[in-house]
Amino acid sequence: MSRVRLVPIVLIAVLVLAVLFGGWQAYEHFNMVTPLKRDLQQVEGVQMVNVSSGNPEIIDVQLGPFSKLKNGDLQQTYNDLENQISAKLGADVTPHLLDNRNKVLTQAMESFNPALLQGIDKSNYTTMIAQVTNEAKKQGIQCRITMDRQYIYIQLAKGKYYLYTVMPYTTRQGGAAS
């Protein structure tokens, strides 16, 4: 009977695993990440894309000012981004938007949050939009708010700075029963 040598078997196993892992990384990079980056950079308003592979996927998307967005609308640009991402990676991955915010816009957004959250809670969207838009106008901030079935899209701009926020909202469906 021949003896099985442990060292060569372990070395071969490690080598095979390294080749398989390297092959998967190359496949992921050349067949998933690179085409996705290329497709996302074609969306109007996108200045830069960074795709970090892993679980979950992290996709940072740097957007330009209002004038660079598709029809000046965050909602349309965001929908194009989501469509590209879901076609390549599935619906569970969402883009992380990067903008050019400053302290003034950040503080304004923080001050708008109570009105936004109250509007969502009470499903009083027209009043919410009017309150936030009027308050932004008082502060000299350009404001645009749009909605669809999933998100509220908030665009703020003042001077060369701009802020984009996509807020998910839920309607009162389901819940605990006693």
Boundaries of every domain in the chain: 6-98, 103-168
Write the CATH number of the domain with boundaries 103-168: 3.30.1300
Domain at 6-98, CATH class: alpha beta
Backbone angles phi, psi at 119, to 5 degrees: -60, -40
pLDDT recorded at residue 25: 67
What pLDDT score was predicted for residue 178? 43
Q: Which residues contact 11 (CB under 8 A, 6 or more apart)?
A: none
| Positions in the chain short of pLDDT 50 | 1, 172, 174-175, 177-178
How many whole angstroms separate alpha carbon 128 and alpha carbon 115? 6
- Predicted local confidence at residue 17, as pLDDT: 87
What does the pLDDT read at residue 132? Answer: 96
What pLDDT digit, counting tens, does each position of 124-172 carry?
999 999 999 999 999 999 999 999 989 999 999 999 999 999 998 765 4
Q: Which two tokens stand for residue 112?
A: 């708008």
User: Rounded CA gap, 143 and 67, in Å?
Assistant: 13
For strand 58-63 and strand 46-52, is the pairing parallel, antiparallel, or unpaired? antiparallel
Residue 64: the pLDDT is 93
Q: Cβ distance 99 to 85 under 8 Å?
A: no
Distance from chain centroid for Cα 32: 18
Residues counted in the chain = 178
Measured between alpha carbons, how far apart are the two ends of the chain, in Å? 70
Domain 6-98 matches domain 103-168 at the CATH topology level: no
